Amino acid sequence: MTFVPPSIDWAALAPIVIVLGAAVVGVLIEAFVKDAVRRMVQVILAVVALGAALVTVAWRWTVVQAQGPAELVGGAIVEDTPALMAQGVVLICAFLGMLVIADRVGGEDGFTPVAAGAPGSTYEAQARRLGLVQTEVYPLVLFSVGGMLVFPAASDLLTLFIALEVLSLPLYLLAGLARRRRLLSQEASLKYFLLGAFSSAFFLMGLALLYGYSGSVRFADLAAAVPAMVGMDVVLLAGVVLVLVGLLFKVGAVPFHSWVPDVYQGSPTSITGFMAACTKIAAFAALVRFLYAVVPGLTWDLSPLLWTIAILTMIVGTVLAIVQTDIKRMLAYSSVAHAGFVLLGVIALTSSGISSVMFYLLVYGVATVGAFGLVTLVRERDAEGNVTGEATRVEQWAGLGRRHPVLAVCFTLFLLSFAGIPLTAGFVGKFTVFAAAVEGGAWPLVVIAVLASAAAAFFYVRMIVLMFFTDPDQDAGSTVVRTEGTTAIAVAVCAVATVVLGVVPTPILSLTSEATKFML
Amino acid sequence: MTNPYVPLLVMGLLAFVMGLAGLLSSAVIGPKRYNKIKVDAYECGIQPSPHAASGRFPVKYYIVAMTFIIFDIEVVFLYPWAVAFTELATFGLIAMIAFLLLITVPFVYEWRRGGLDWD
Amino acid sequence: MTLVHYLVLSGILFSIGAVTVLVRRNALVAFMGVELMLNAANLMLVTFARMHGDLHGQVIAFFVMVVAAAEVVIGLAIIVSIHRTRGSASLDDANLLKN
């Protein structure tokens, strides 16, 4: 047997290579650039890399429209329209998230000066006084984005596994870097890591079983093996379910959601926004590809499982969001409920299902980055009037609409979009997903989803009432800090996108409906 | 001829007996003098580092362990490449050089940021 | 001795690892459980590779070892920093994030 080197189409890999290459350069910058300018260089590099990757994805989109999809690197990665669409959405949200991450709101960024120093130690205090910054954040985010770009395009289980780890490992660290509330942040990091490693072990076992079943980890070979062999159904089913567990953990579906509220609450808020949006987009895109490419023959066996998970996710997410008193936790549970809504489009297993999922993820991602970006701005004051950590208790937001109307209106917009009120993007997103689910014959799920949306509207509206029609609690003493401008830009873009996608969604909807045109 | 595995079994038994005999005889006839050095943690004959006994250890060890893992991982891919060196030809060589360069990047980072300074 | 025995052993090791993660309250021990699960999957991969007479399974096992090593580095970094903060690596002590 002779070895034939795979041909590598660098142009098609360009978005991934740009982001991961920038991450490696970022590590070298950490090594060689002086402290004084390092942060500036890192921020510029990260923003430019993400922007360039986004442009490249748009270019590849036109190429694929003209020439059709292709297999890259010996079939490990595919370049087709769903993959490019998902990569584009990830990059949009990562770009906006990066603007929030890079902002030094209130004069300091959201990250600890020394991650290695124990909280409260003299070492940490000294680093804080010297004004050190942990600029490793930027390469870590870029590595994570690189994994997210490979994730929706992977066409074998090994590539999928490696991409899963590349996107997860930096996030475990980023979760532990918050400047304030270090103990919570470290705890979030530990929980995320242990549960994430646990779920990727399940994914790996699923990979091993599927390899044993079919003798290959390629999606195409797996799909070909499904109808051919009837005797090993248990191995196949167990393998598929274990792989699904790994993917459903990443999207935060019940019963694999227990990490979501803790990690979203404990992580630095800018990282939470980035992670909540981008991880979910990448993981759903990979989930869709896995379900469509590998197991169409198993729909009958899997649908009870997927239906149960979707129902549980919608109900548990909504009910627990209602009782939360912390804004970040409330948004976390609401993101769990949103994962349930997206699962509806996934379960539909139709091409309109895929395009509705893509549209919903864009809508959700934009509103999430915007909402968490605003949370970074609202701060507590201590007794001496110094600005301290974020005011995340719900009652601290009372009366914010009177003092800071622009901020409150933007936040209201995102909440309305989450709730799915007409004329916001969330309404169009929910509508397309529900329509796809009805078309796919999942109307009982749609009934539950509509009820859950109605219940969810309750706590979104309660929050809005609190901001605009409640007198501020004087003791709570929350205040809004100044941004350097980048968070303001990100939030403004998110708000405009939320309105535009809600009022004139047709151009983007027709774009997403083309996403299924060329699928490998 | 008896079973060819019998000599193996006999050898195994002999090895077991030898080991056991050594332990037993030293326990019975060996001198028993305990002192501080004997009960201390064994660190290749040097004085045990401070804190080693209390369950805490300097972070230095952790950094060395991480550096070790970088090179440990490197070998996982170098070895199969070496075995199939001729078949993989130029493509394999270029891929491996790229891999080694990428492995060097975190090492450079660690070196520049003082991770290799022992004090 | 058939190859199926290895599969059974792999299943047992995987279960022991999973139970360890769920039951043990020390972060380091729970983490060792995860490692055991990964290695159980490795054993299954090489056994299936042998059964299929195909080398892919062994190559995948290499990749898994690399990922496991990267995970060890990051996991230990997190656990060591928590241990230095709190003086313990108990998961029961890590309960601030509850409302």
Report chain C residues whose CB lies below 8 A from the CB of B62: 76-77, 80
Separation of alpha carbons A428 and A366, rounded Å = 14
Chain C neighbours (≥3 Cβ pairs under 8 A) are A, B
Residue C18: which residues within 8 A CB-CB, separation 6 or more? A198, A201, C33, C37
Phi-psi region of A231 (alpha: psi -120 to 50; beta: other; left: phi over 0): alpha
Kindly determine whether residue C76 and residue B69, on different chains, have CB atoms separated by under 8 Å: no
Residues in Cβ contact with A370 at an 8 Å cutoff, skipping those fewer than 6 apart: A96, A273, A410, A414, A490, A491, A494, A495, A498
Tokens of A161: 């596994």
Mark yes or no for CB contact B88/A3 under 8 Å: yes
E strand or H helix at A197: helix A182-214
Question: Which chain A residue lies closest to C87 (C-alpha atoms)?
Answer: A118
Contact (Cβ atoms closer than 8 angstroms) between residue B109 and residue A31: yes
**ipTM of model:** 0.94
Token digits of residue A212: 């044993």
User: Does residue A349 have a pLDDT over 80?
Assistant: no
pLDDT bucket at B1, cuts 50 / 70 / 90 = low
3-state SS of chain B is CCCCCHHHHHHHHHHHHHHHHHHHHHHHHCCCCCCHHHHCCCCCCCCCCCCHHHCCCCHHHHHHHHHHHHHHHHHHHHHHHHHCHHHHHHHHHHHHHHHHHHHHHHHHHHHHCCCCCCC
A contacts of B106 (beta carbons < 8 Å): 27
* Facing residue for A169 by CB, picked from C21, C74, C81: C74
The structural domains of chain B, ordered by start, are 6-112 (1.20.58.1610)
For chain A, the distance separating the N- and C-terminal CA atoms, rounded to the nearest angstrom, is: 28
pLDDT > 90: what percent of chain C? 51
Place of tokens 């030094």: A104
Q: What are phi and psi of A122, to 5 degrees?
A: -65, -35
Q: Looking at the complex, report in whole angstroms how far the Cα of residue B45 sits from the nearest Cα belonging to chain A.
A: 32
Q: What pLDDT is attached to residue A243? A: 94
pLDDT given for residue B53 in this prediction: 44
Residue of B nearest to A30 (CA): B109
Cα C3–C6–C8 angle (5° rounding)? Answer: 115
Signed CA dihedral, A106, A108, A112, A118: sign only: negative
Residue of chain A with shortest Cα separation from C71: A169
Give Cα separations from C11 to A19, A507, C5, C45, C67 (angstroms). Answer: 39, 51, 10, 12, 21
pLDDT band at A309 (very low <50, low <70, confident <90, very high): very high
Q: How many residues does chain B have?
A: 119
Distance separating alpha carbons of residues C23 and A299, to the nearest angstrom: 34
Q: C-alpha angle with apex A41: A36 to A42, nearest 5 degrees?
A: 110
For residues A249-258, average pLDDT: 91
Which positions in chain A have a beta carbon within 8 angstroms of at least one beta carbon in chain B? Answer: 2-3, 5, 24, 27-28, 30-32, 116
CB A282 within 8 A of CB A152: yes
C96 contacts chain A (CB < 8 A) = yes
Nearest to A2 among B87, B92, B113 (CB): B87
CA pair distance B89, C18, nearest whole angstrom? 43
Residue A107's nearest CA partner among A371, A376, A327, A374 is: A376
- Read off the pLDDT of each residue in C15-38 and give the average, rounded to a whole number: 90
A395-404, B91-100, C77-86: range with highest mean pLDDT: B91-100
Answer yes or no: are the C-beta atoms of A163 and A170 closer than 8 Å.
no
Q: Does residue C31 sit within a domain?
A: yes
For residue A318, what pLDDT is reported?
Answer: 93
Of A464, A433, A461, give the one whose Cα is nearest residue A449.
A433
**Confidence check: pLDDT of A300 > 80:** no
pLDDT at B110 over 50: yes
Q: Report the 10 Å Cβ neighbour count for C54.
A: 14
C56: domain CATH number?
1.10.287.3510
* Residues C22 and C91 sit within 8 Å (Cβ to Cβ): no
- With b for 16 or more beta-carbon neighbours within 10 A and e for fewer, the A31-64 pattern comes to bebeeeebbebbbebbbebbebbbebbeebbeeb
Residue contact C44–A262, C-beta within 8 A:
no
Of B59, B73, B80, the CB nearest to C66: B73
Residue A118 C-alpha, separation from nearest chain B C-alpha, in angstroms: 12
Q: Tokens for A251, please give them.
A: 């999207």
- The answer as to whether C91 is a domain residue is no
The partner residue sitting opposite C72, judged by closest CB among B59, B69, B76, is: B69
Q: What percent of chain A has pLDDT over 90?
A: 59
B14: left (phi over 0), alpha (psi -120 to 50) or beta: alpha
Asked if residue A387 has pLDDT above 70, the reply is yes
Range of the domain at C11: 3-86
Checking if the pLDDT of A140 tops 90, the result is yes
- What is the count of residue pairs from A and B with beta carbons less than 8 Å apart? 28
Quote the minimal CA–CA distance from A432 to chain C in Å: 35
- The neighbour count for residue A299, using CB atoms within 10 Å, is 12
Q: Give the pLDDT confidence score for residue A447 in this predicted structure.
A: 94
Which two three-digit tokens encode residue A493? 């873009």
Residue B52, pLDDT > 60, answer no
Q: Which residues of A touch B59 (CB under 8 A)?
A: 116
CB–CB contact A3 B105 (8 Å):
no
pLDDT in the model for residue B58 = 62
Assess if residue C93 is contained within a domain.
no
Rounded CA separation C78/C72 (Å): 10
Confidence of residue C99 (pLDDT cuts 50, 70, 90): very low
Vertex A94 angle, CA A90 and A99, to 5°: 160
Q: Give the distance from residue B23's alpha carbon to the nearest chain C alpha carbon, in angstroms.
A: 32
For chain A, what percentages of helix, strand and coil (3-state, to nearest 5) are there? 75, 5, 20
Cα→Cα distances C39→A273, C64, C77, Å: 34, 8, 21
Whether residue A5 and residue B106 make contact (CB cut-off 8 A), yes or no, is no
Q: What is the mean pLDDT of chain C?
A: 87
**If you average pLDDT over every residue of chain B, what do you get?**
79
The answer to whether the Cβ–Cβ distance between C63 and A189 falls below 8 Å is no
Q: The pTM is what?
A: 0.89
Of all residues in chain B, what percent carry a pLDDT higher than 70? 76
- H helices present in C24-55, as ranges: 27-52
Q: Reduced to 3 states, what is the DSSP secondary structure of residue A356?
A: helix
**Percentage with pLDDT > 70 across chain A:** 97
Is the Cα dihedral A249, A255, A258, A263 positive or negative? positive
Q: How confident is the model at residue A515 (pLDDT cuts 50, 70, 90)?
A: confident
C61-70: average pLDDT: 93
pLDDT at C31 over 80: yes
Q: What is the mean pLDDT of chain A?
A: 89
Please, where are the H alpha helices in A252-268? 259-266
Contact C37 A189 (CB under 8 A): no
Nearest-CA residue of chain A relative to B105?
A: A28
pLDDT surpasses 90 at A196: yes
Residue B119 pLDDT level (bands cut at 50, 70, 90): low
Q: What is the pLDDT of residue A487?
A: 92
pLDDT at B10 > cutoff 90:
no
Q: Can you read off the two tokens belonging to residue A242?
A: 């274990």
Q: Is B57 on the interface with A (CB under 8 A)?
A: no
Please choose, from the candidates A225, A200, A204, the residue with its C-alpha nearest in 3D space to the C-alpha of residue A214.
A225
Closest Cα in chain C to B64: C73
A198-249 residue pLDDT tens:
999 999 999 999 999 888 999 988 888 877 665 557 888 889 999 999 999 9
**What is the pLDDT confidence band of residue A370, given thresholds at 50, 70 and 90?**
very high
| A51, A95 contact by CB (below 8 A) | yes
State the first-to-last Cα distance of chain C, in angstroms, to the nearest integer.
54
Run of H or E residues at A478: strand A478-480
Average pLDDT, stretch A16-27?
Answer: 96
Give how far C17 is from chain A: nearest CA, Å.
Answer: 9
CA distance C93 to chain B (A): 19
Q: How many residues does chain C have?
A: 99
Task: Look at residues A423, A313, A429, A435 and name the one whose alpha carbon lies nearest to residue A368.
Answer: A429
Q: Quote the minimal CA–CA distance from C54 to chain B in Å.
A: 15
Could you say which of C37, C60, C85 has the minimum Cβ distance to residue A119?
A: C85
Q: Are A375 and A467 in contact (CB under 8 A)?
A: no
Q: Which of B88, B89, B109 sits opposite A31 (nearest CB)?
A: B109
User: CB distance B72–C69 less than 8 Å?
Assistant: yes
Residue A14 is predicted with a pLDDT of 94
- Determine, for residues C97 and A176 on separate chains, whether the beta-carbon distance falls below 8 Å: no
Render pLDDT for A147-195 as a digit per residue (tens, 0 to 9).
Answer: 999 999 999 999 999 999 999 999 999 999 988 888 889 999 999 999 9
Would you say residue A384 has pLDDT above 80? no
Which residue in C34, C79, C85 is closest to A198 by CB distance?
C34
Q: What pLDDT is attached to residue B45? A: 65
Q: Is residue C95 part of a domain?
A: no
Confidence of residue A44 (pLDDT cuts 50, 70, 90): very high
Is the pLDDT reported for residue A426 higher than 50?
A: yes
- Contact check, Cβ <8 Å, A3/B106: no
Number of domains into which chain C is organized? 1
Q: Which residue of A has its CA nearest to C35?
A: A201
User: Which chains have 3 or more CB–CB distances shorter than 8 Å to chain A?
Assistant: B, C
C-beta atoms surrounding A89 within 10 Å = 28
**Closest residue by Cα to residue A314 from A410, A433, A432, A175:** A433
Task: Tell me how long chain A is.
Answer: 520
pLDDT, greater one: C83 or A25: A25
Instruction: Please check the confidence at residue A262 and state whether its pLDDT lies above 70.
Output: yes
| pLDDT at residue A357, rounded to an integer | 93
What chain C residue is nearest to A157 in terms of C-alpha separation?
C60
- Judge: A3–B108 Cβ closer than 8 Å, yes or no: no
Report chain B residues whose CB lies below 8 A from the CB of A27: 105-106, 109
